[in-house]
C-alpha cells in the first residue's frame, strides 16, 4: 500500500513477500543523510564489493587505488604475481601514501613509500625500511641511540584487506570475519567463471555523477517496466513477453530475449542479453550480439548523489565500427536512465511520499530493498 506523509509517520518494514502491502523501503531511506552514513559500515564494509579488473595490473608492481565506503585502498600485484589489497594508510602516523590512481591509468612501483616520513613497504605489505632518524635519537636529549627500539617489520606493515576473485573480477571485504565471496555470490560465481572474461581488454570508461541516491538507480537498473515508455531504441529489439527476471540471495539476472521479428542490425541484441546485478553495487552486462561485456560500479557519494563508472571490455581496445555503435547505444541508455532517476529523486525529496509500492514484475527491486533493510538491521 502506498503511504503518504500525512502526519501519522506510518511506514513499515519491507514485507518478505512482494504480494504484501508494504513491499518497498520507506522513502526516507533514500534521502536521509544518517542512512548514507550507516550504509558506509553496514553495507559497504560488510559485503564483498567490486574493486576492479585484474587485467589492469598484469605485471608485478602495477597498482590502482579505489575508495569504497569512505575507505581508500591500494590494489597491487606483488612480486609473486599475487593481487593484494591494502589500506592506503601508512603504519607510522596514518598518512595517505599513494595519490588517487584509477584502474584505467595504473601506477607502477617496486615498493610503496609514504611521502611524509619515507616509511617504505614491500608489495606484500611488510615494512622494508625507515629513515635513519627512526633508528637514532640524536634530537632527543633523554634517549641514547641504544635505547631506540627496533621496529618489527611484519608487525608494523600495512593493513591488508580481504580480496577474492570471480574470474578476473576483483572484490574486497572490510569485515573482520566476512562470509566468503563464494557464499555471497552463490551460483553467480560459477556462471560468470564459465565465460572467458579474462580474454577481453578494457576499451572504454565513462564516469558520470548523477543527482540521486544510489539505490534509486539500482532499482531502475533492476526492472524493465519503464522500458516501453523510455527506451525506444532498446525495447524495439527485445521481446519482453519472453524475458525473465531471475532472483537469488545476493544477485539477480535480467534475461532479455531478442524479438525475432526485428532485424538483428536494428537491435542492440541478438539471441539473449544478460544483465547481472550483484549486491550491493556491481553489475555486469552481456549483450547477445556483442563479443564483449560492460560493467557498472554504482558508487554513492552522499545520500543524494552517486557516481556511475561504466567500463567496456572487448577483444581489442581498438573498437570496430560495430563495437563503437554498441558502446554509444549503451551510453544513450544510461543517459535516458539518468533523467528518469533524477526525476524520481526530486519527487522523493519533496517529502510527500512516505513509502512506495512495487509491482509484480519488480521482484528484483523488492530483493534490493530487502537486502538493504537486512543490512540496516544487522
DSSP secondary structure string for all residues of 5-17 = -SSS----PPPSS
Q: Residue 212 and residue 219: Cα distance in Å, rounded?
A: 12
- pLDDT attached to residue 260: 60
Cβ–Cβ < 8 Å for 97, 90 = yes
| pLDDT of amino acid 371 | 98
Q: What is the pLDDT of residue 267?
A: 53
pLDDT tens-digit map of 213-254 = 999 999 999 999 998 899 888 777 777 777 889 999 999 999
CATH of 194-377, one of 1.10.15.40, 1.10.1740.10, 1.10.3720.10, 3.90.380.10: 3.90.380.10
What is the model's pLDDT at position 269?
56
Write down the mean pLDDT value for the chain: 93
Q: What is the pLDDT of residue 151?
A: 87
Segments of the chain with pLDDT less than 50: none
Superfamily of domain 49-173: Rieske [2Fe-2S] iron-sulphur domain (2.102.10.10)
Q: Where do the structural domains in the chain lie, given as residue ranges? A: 49-173, 194-377
Residue 349: predicted pLDDT: 97
The dihedral over CA atoms of 370, 218, 38, 13, expressed in degrees to the nearest 10, equals -30
Q: What is the pLDDT of residue 26?
A: 97
CA dihedral defined by 291, 285, 178, 87, rounded to 10 degrees? 80
What is the end-to-end Cα distance of the chain in Å, rounded?
A: 26
- What is the Cα–Cα distance from 209 to 305, expressed in whole angstroms? 7
State the pLDDT at residue 242. Answer: 74
pLDDT at 258: 66
Amino acid at each position: 500500500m502506498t503511504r503518504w506523509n500525512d502526519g501519522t509517520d506510518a511506514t513499515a518494514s519491507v514485507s518478505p513477500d512482494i504480494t504484501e502491502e508494504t513491499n518497498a523501503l520507506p522513502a526516507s531511506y533514500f534521502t536521509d543523510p544518517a542512512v548514507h552514513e550507516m550504509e558506509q559500515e553496514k553495507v559497504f564494509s560488510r559485503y564483498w564489493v567490486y574493486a576492479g579488473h585484474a587485467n589492469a595490473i598484469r605485471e608485478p608492481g602495477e597498482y590502482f587505488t579505489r575508495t569504497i565506503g569512505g575507505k581508500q585502498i591500494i590494489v597491487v600485484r606483488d612480486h609473486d604475481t599475487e593481487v593484494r589489497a591494502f589500506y592506503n594508510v601508512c603504519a607510522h602516523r596514518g598518512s595517505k601514501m599513494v595519490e588517487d590512481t584509477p584502474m584505467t591509468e595504473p601506477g607502477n612501483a617496486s615498493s610503496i613509500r609514504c611521502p611524509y616520513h619515507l616509511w617504505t613497504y614491500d608489495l606484500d605489505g611488510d615494512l622494508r625500511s625507515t629513515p635513519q632518524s627512526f633508528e637514532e635519537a640524536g634530537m632527543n636529549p633523554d634517549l641514547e641511540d641504544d635505547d631506540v627500539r627496533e621496529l618489527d617489520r611484519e608487525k608494523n606493515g600495512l593493513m591488508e584487506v580481504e580480496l577474492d576473485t570471480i574470474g578476473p573480477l576483483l572484490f574486497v571485504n572490510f569485515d573482520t570475519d566476512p562470509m566468503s565471496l563464494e557464499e555471497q555470490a552463490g551460483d553467480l560465481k560459477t556462471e560468470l567463471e564459465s565465460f572467458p572474461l579474462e580474454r577481453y581488454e578494457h576499451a572504454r570508461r565513462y564516469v558520470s555523477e548523477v543527482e540521486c541516491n544510489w539505490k534509486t538507480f539500482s532499482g531502475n537498473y533492476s526492472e524493465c517496466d519503464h522500458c516501453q515508455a523510455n527506451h525506444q531504441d532498446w525495447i524495439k529489439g527485445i521481446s519482453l513477453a519472453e524475458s525473465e527476471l531471475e532472483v537469488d540471495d545476493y544477485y539477480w539476472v535480467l534475461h532479455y530475449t531478442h524479438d525475432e521479428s526485428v532485424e538483428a542490425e536494428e537491435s542492440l541484441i541478438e539471441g539473449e542479453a544478460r544483465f547481472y546485478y550483484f549486491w550491493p553495487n556491481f553489475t555486469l552486462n552481456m549483450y547477445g550480439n556483442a563479443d564483449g561485456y560492460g560493467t557498472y560500479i554504482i558508487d554513492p557519494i552522499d545520500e543524494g548523489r552517486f557516481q556511475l563508472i561504466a567500463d567496456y571490455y572487448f577483444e581489442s581496445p581498438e573498437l570496430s565500427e560495430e563495437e563503437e555503435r554498441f558502446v554509444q547505444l549503451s551510453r544513450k541508455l544510461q543517459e535516458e536512465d539518468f533523467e528518469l532517476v533524477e526525476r524520481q529523486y526530486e519527487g522523493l525529496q519533496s517529502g510527500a511520499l512516505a513509502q512506495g509500492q512495487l509491482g509484480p514484475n519488480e521482484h528484483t527491486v523488492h530483493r534490493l530493498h530487502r537486502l538493504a533493510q537486512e543490512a540496516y538491521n544487522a
